[in-house]
């Protein structure tokens, strides 16, 4: 979801365009919001830092802005800082109550850009730093994921498997039937696929 309109001219360096005034949607940025509006125009908006804020006043303000009807549920705020000087704050519930996995979604979406930015600041190769991170996915698929390509799975299911391949062995395998929970016997198995 793009929350801002950029009116910068072509600028191959990706730095600020000094003749540009950044435009933004005042519903999301400005004095009545917890978010800082853009300070400069950039060719490509990228995250440069991620902060977790525990200050009670900030948590309350962000929570009241985004979810006023559930203001007591947030315990922290995640702040994404961008290269145009803006920041975006979102309330976070505790790990146990974060059913939408908001923390992980924000981290997965913005951490790769932050890793590249910090590497560039340190004089390192941004792409090499990213390849060393947990967010880098090799082009080489593990064998059972390759085998999925030979099945007649619909594209949506195939994408889900490819995205979650690393997490599948860790999933809690439980089949729910009616009011009863049936645990699959997975102890001493060589592979979880045998139980499916």
State the pLDDT at residue 71. 63
State the pLDDT at residue 108. 86
Q: Which two tokens stand for residue 97?
A: 């109550």
Q: What is the DSSP annotation of 92-151?
A: E--GGG-TT-HHHHHHHHHHHHHHHHHHHHTTS-HHHHHHTSTT---SSPPHHHHHHTTS
State the pLDDT at residue 23. 83
CB 76 within 8 A of CB 82: no
Mean pLDDT by 10 residues, the chain (196 residues): 38 53 84 90 92 93 86 86 94 86 87 89 86 69 59 73 63 46 56 55
Task: Dump pLDDT digits (tens) for 105-162.
Answer: 888 889 889 888 989 988 988 888 888 876 767 655 555 566 656 666 677 777 777 7
């Amino acid at each position: 979801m793009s929350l801002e309109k950029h009116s910068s001219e072509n600028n191959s360096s990706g730095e600020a365009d000094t003749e540009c005034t950044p435009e933004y949607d005042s519903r999301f940025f400005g004095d009545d919001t917890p978010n800082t509006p853009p300070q400069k125009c950039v060719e490509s908006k990228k995250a440069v830092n991620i902060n977790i804020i525990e200050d009670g006043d900030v948590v309350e303000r962000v929570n009241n802005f985004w979810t006023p009807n559930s203001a007591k549920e947030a315990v922290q705020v995640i702040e994404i800082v961008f290269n145009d000087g803006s920041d975006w704050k979102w309330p976070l519930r505790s790990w146990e109550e974060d059913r939408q996995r908001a923390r992980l979604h924000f981290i997965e979406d913005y951490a790769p850009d932050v890793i590249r930015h910090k590497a560039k600041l340190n004089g390192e190769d941004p792409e090499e730093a990213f390849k060393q991170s947990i967010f880098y996915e090799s082009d080489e698929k593990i064998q059972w994921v390759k085998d999925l390509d030979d099945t007649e799975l619909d594209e949506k299911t195939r994408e889900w498997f490819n995205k979650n391949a690393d997490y599948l062995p860790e999933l809690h395998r439980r089949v729910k039937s009616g009011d009863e929970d049936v645990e699959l016997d997975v102890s001493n198995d060589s592979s979880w696929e045998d139980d499916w």
